[in-house]
Amino acid sequence: MAQMPAKRRAALRAELLALLHATEAEDIDARIDELLAEVLEDAPIVAPLGMGLDDEDEDRRIVVTGMGVVSPFGIGVAPFWAGLSQGRSAIERISHFDPSGYPCQIAGQVPGFVAKEFMDGKEARRMSRSSQFAVAAAQMAVTDADLRISGNSEEIGVLIGCGTSAMPDIEQAAMTLLQRGGMKISPFFIPAALPHMPASQVAIQLGLHGYLSAISTACSAGAQAIGEAAEVIRRGEAEIMLAGGAEAPITAFSLGAFCVMRALSSHANHEPSKGSRPFDARRDGFVPGEGAAVLVLERLSNARRRGASILAEVAGYAATADAYHITAPEPDGYGAARAMRRALQNARCDPQQIDYINAHATSTPAGDLAETRAIKHVFGEYAYSVPVSSNKSMIGHLTGAAGAIEAAATILALRHSLIPPTINQEEADPACDLDYVPNQARHARLQLAISNSFAFGGVNAVLVFRRL
């Protein structure tokens, strides 16, 4: 007789153990007869395995059961996915302030955000815009996951990434200092500006008493928050984690700072939708954006036990350092390549199994080229077959929130079997010669996908998601 598969053996063992709790002797006898038939005759299991009977592997596997998004396309997952899948640009002329004195005058701004729809108005006025985004995204994620917090709050943790959590508040405090003196600075400035406050405000507003932390690694922060949150669950410090990123950097202060670095695009002020053009020969810098994304993470066993809808599995994660430069990527992409390889090893899959790469691809000349080279290092000849695309072509670069919102986009691509395009692909760069899914979304069978996030200082973070 052929050896029974391991999962079926585990199912039979679980049912035998469950019989210990049965109260009727005749029920036990009948079920033993059925299980004997299963073992001796390889008959199908008569009763389905209960959702609460989990094998050990399901306690190690981490899944996503809810998502909340605040993006330049609007509030919620639906407008976010509609914009990405239709290949629309959400980038427009900056309206938060007059940008006319700057080389870059465009950004991906969140439209129609009303903080008091997600929290008390007084509380909202005391927190930064990025914290407001984080709370809103977390509220939506909890609702999407059908998560009951009451009575379980000590087992639910928060880990939110950001670059600088309160640029508008920092700018306002500096202006107050210069114009009116230091004693006129708002007493709420420090509590608003601390990098961990988006995470803390999520915990405060939702009443969560579990693990709490933050990651501040610039453009890798959102991705690292998700990857590290999965590890928090695996090591037993939380049953469920709310993880993601939030950023609201669109101020005159930050715009000027990035402009003097020559990091931003300056060629498309007259046509904002053309500003972000990853991998295109005429790319000249990134376009800033704002927003947040929060995912609900939990063990596969816990998700099944409570009957949650499973959106995807966090199959792999890794982070590495370039140890090369404070802003420039390592030109050949070796650090990024190491992160991708380690994430694939963590996911126990080969490069040829990856169906899609959601690229970091900010639309900078050096960054896009380095990422292209990194992909070639990892995937070899298969690099020319795997689709690669950049969400930043449509929403801009959300810095600390980028990794989280692109993780959400990757999961949606898996769920809908649709790869969002890289728009503004108009003039080929001979050095960037992969399949960047130009200008139109593409239907594809997707099972495994990578989401790349790379940051100033040489931080590389890679997530691997699997469709279940």
Over the stretch 83-111, which tens digit does the pLDDT of each residue have? 999 999 999 999 999 999 999 999 999 99
Give the model's confidence band at 59: pLDDT under 50 very low, under 70 low, under 90 confident, else very high: confident
Say what percent of the chain tops pLDDT 70: 88
The active-site residue, picked from 104, 196, 349, 360, is: 360
- What lies within 8 Å, CB to CB, of 225 at 6+ separation is 159, 160, 161, 214, 215, 243, 244, 245, 403, 404
CATH of domain 58-466: 3.40.47.10
pLDDT in tens, 285-307: 999 999 999 999 999 999 999 99
Cα 331 from Cα 319, distance rounded (Å): 18
Question: Residue range 415-440: average pLDDT?
Answer: 98
- Per the CB < 8 A criterion, the answer to whether 201 and 135 are in contact is yes
Residue 451 has pLDDT above 70, yes or no: yes
More confident residue, 351 or 41: 351
pLDDT at position 150 is 86
Give the model's confidence band at 18: pLDDT under 50 very low, under 70 low, under 90 confident, else very high: low
The active-site residue, picked from 104, 162, 196, 219, is: 219
pLDDT at position 186 is 95
pTM of the model: 0.87
The ranges assigned to domains in the chain are: 6-50, 58-466
Question: Residue range 65-83: average pLDDT?
Answer: 98
397 a catalytic residue: yes
pLDDT at position 51 is 34
Give residue 8's Cα distance to chain centre: 34
Q: Look up residue 51 and give its two tokens.
A: 């959702």
Cα 412 from Cα 451, distance rounded (Å): 12
325 a catalytic residue: no
219 a catalytic residue: yes
Say what percent of the chain tops pLDDT 90: 86
Residue 53 has pLDDT above 60, yes or no: no
Give the model's confidence band at 14: pLDDT under 50 very low, under 70 low, under 90 confident, else very high: low
- Per the CB < 8 A criterion, the answer to whether 297 and 226 are in contact is yes
Give the model's confidence band at 164: pLDDT under 50 very low, under 70 low, under 90 confident, else very high: confident
Cα 385 from Cα 360, distance rounded (Å): 18
pLDDT at position 49 is 34
Give the model's confidence band at 28: pLDDT under 50 very low, under 70 low, under 90 confident, else very high: low
pLDDT in tens, 207-239: 999 999 999 999 999 999 999 999 999 999 999
Mean pLDDT taken over the chain: 92
